[in-house]
């Protein structure tokens, strides 16, 4: 199912912290770690857990750039 | 200057397309390419061009996860 | 491919306006129309056109509520 | 008060879950359900509760499209 | 019409640049200037022009913090 | 470190509420108060507390406009 969000990168969950409404998920992508905050309900329904292979999805308008 | 956005990854601009109000920038990060859409004004003021080393910055609440 | 974005509603494209970097797409969903602004590149790669059946996807943290 | 966010659809709250900082609200719109995550403070100040008629508001740049 | 977005500040438009799909609007708020990128359609329908008194609206989850 | 987010305004934290995953921070900017919801981890790592001088950072595409 192609989606208009242009950034889709495969990785593996290394950590997941669950609260009542939100969940904080860490995903290893190559040498980098990406952090994602999603709803607890999505984490439960997708049965996310450490070790899962997932795709990180980010819209291009949400990607800022900085320069040293 | 630390910023609350949790994802900050270094890369290099490989392509930049400018329109009147928006700019579409492609950044190489390891084996992946990230696309960023920012304002033309920021692209101009930061003098962004292909070859520049930049940091990609994304808030964790903007990172979705999908599972095959 | 399940995705963590909680709102996924099926509809049909009724109009699409293309600019150099952005595209403005109108989707009919039941009695409502939803407007989406995505990148021109995604519109091209997905070959979006009027009449296409698509799914509108929105993260729950992007949904505001107002009360009269 | 017109607002620049282009998507404004009327519905009715069917469920609300409150945590310390966030609130997860479900809104019935025609045959669909939309989920919204807002701050607990807004939920309290707007006195949101099941049965309330509300308008769901979403910026067009937050609406992604996917195609089967 | 109360809305769940927690930041609503009054200001005055000082500049507006229109493109086919997007519009870039500058708003003076006290001693600061805020820049807003909205759709051209909203700018047209709201008949926004320099001198207009408007309210800037931002969701709290879109406000990042940095520290020197 | 210049960043592409166009709105960067200096202020002072007046209140901070911490939950397990999220933090709700209030920042005084001139006569206005801005509310920011970030991750608890960023609040901890940046050691944010009332009285801190911070810069509020908002992307222009996240700034909506309303008119009375």
Using H for helix, E for strand and C for coil, what is the string for E29-54?
ECCEEEEEEEEHHHHHHCCCCCCCEE
- From A57, which residue of chain C is nearest by alpha-carbon distance? C3
Please report the pLDDT score of residue F1 as a whole number. 66
pLDDT surpassing 70 at residue A1: no
Q: Has residue E52 been placed in a domain?
A: yes
Distance, CA of C43 to CA of E23 (rounded, Å):
20
pLDDT exceeds cutoff 70 at C46: yes
CB contact under 8 A, B24 and C41: yes
Across B8-45, b (16+ Cβ under 10 Å) vs e yields: ebebebeebeebebbbbbbbebeebebbbbbbbbbbee
Q: What is the CATH number of the domain that holds F31?
A: 2.40.50.100
Give the pair of three-digit tokens for residue D67: 């195609």
Contact list, B42 vs chain F (CB under 8 Å): 4-6
The whole-number pLDDT of residue A10 equals 97
In chain D, which residues have their Cβ closer than 8 Å to the Cβ of F39?
none
Calculate what percentage of chain C has a pLDDT beyond 90. 97
How far lies C66's CA from each of D18, D27, D54, D56, in Å? 17, 12, 6, 7
d(Cα A3, Cα D65) in Å, to the nearest integer? Answer: 6
Q: Please identify which residue in the block is written with the tokens 């808030």.
A: B59
pLDDT score, position E68: 81
Complex-level ipTM beyond the 0.95 threshold = yes
pLDDT beyond 80 at B1: no
E45 part of contact set with chain F, CB < 8 Å = no
- Total structural domains in chain B? 1
Q: Are E5 and E55 in contact (CB under 8 A)?
A: no
Residue D59 counted as domain residue = no
- Reference B4, options A35, E22, E11; nearest CA is A35
Judged by CB atoms closer than 8 Å, whether chains meet at E68 and B39 is answered as: no
Nearest Cα residue in chain B from A57: B64
F51 touches chain E (CB under 8 A): no
CA distance F36 to A39: 18
Beta carbons within 8 Å of D40's beta carbon, 6+ residues apart: D18, D19, D20, D21, D22, D23
Separation CA F11–CA F26 (nearest Å): 10
Is the Cβ of B6 closer than 8 Å to some Cβ of chain E? no
Specify the pLDDT at position F60: 98
Is D46 within the bounds of a domain? Answer: yes
In a domain, E67, yes or no: no
Beta carbons of B2 and E64 less than 8 Å apart: no
Q: Report the distance separating Cα F29 and Cα F44, nearest Å.
A: 22
> Is B6 a domain residue?
yes
Of E65, C63, C45, which is closest to residue D67 (Cα–Cα)?
A: C45
Subunits adjacent to chain B (3 or more Cβ pairs under 8 Å): A, C, E, F
The pLDDT of residue F36: 98
β-strand partners of C29: C32
Q: Which residues contact B64 (CB under 8 A, 6 or more apart)?
A: A5, A36, A38, A56, A57, A58, C3, C4, C5, C59
Note whether residue C29 is domain-resident: yes
Q: Do the Cβ atoms of C19 and B24 come within 8 Å?
A: no
Judged against a pLDDT cut of 80, whether residue C22 lies above it is answered with yes
Q: Which domain, by its residues, includes D18?
A: 7-52
pLDDT value at residue D1: 66
Are D38 and D17 spatial neighbours (Cβ–Cβ below 8 Å)? no
CB-nearest to B61 from E23, E61, E65 is E61
Nearest chain B residue to C40 by CA: give it: B24
In a domain, E1, yes or no: no
Q: Indicate if the pLDDT at residue F26 is higher than 80.
A: yes
Q: Is residue E13 part of a domain?
A: yes
Q: 3-class SS at A41?
A: helix
pLDDT given at position F39: 98
* Disruptive mutation site among A59, A64, A68 for chain B (greatest number of B CBs within 10 Å): A64
Looking at the predicted structure, is the pLDDT value of residue F48 above 80? yes
pLDDT band, residue C1 (cuts 50/70/90): low
Residue ranges in chain D whose pLDDT is less than 70: 1
User: How confident is the model at residue E67, as a pLDDT?
Assistant: 96
pLDDT at C68: 80
Instruction: With beta carbons under 8 A apart, name residues in chain C contacting E39.
Output: 24, 35, 37
Chain D residue closest to E40 (CA)?
Answer: D4
CA A13, A15, A17, A22 torsion: positive or negative?
negative
């Amino acid at each position: 199912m192609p989606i208009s969000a242009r950034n889709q990168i495969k990785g593996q969950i290394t950590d997941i912290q669950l609260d009542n409404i939100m969940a904080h998920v860490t995903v290893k992508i190559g040498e980098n770690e990406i952090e994602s905050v999603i709803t607890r309900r999505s984490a439960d329904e997708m049965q996310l857990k450490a070790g899962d292979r997932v795709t990180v999805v980010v819209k291009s308008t949400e990607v800022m750039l900085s320069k040293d």
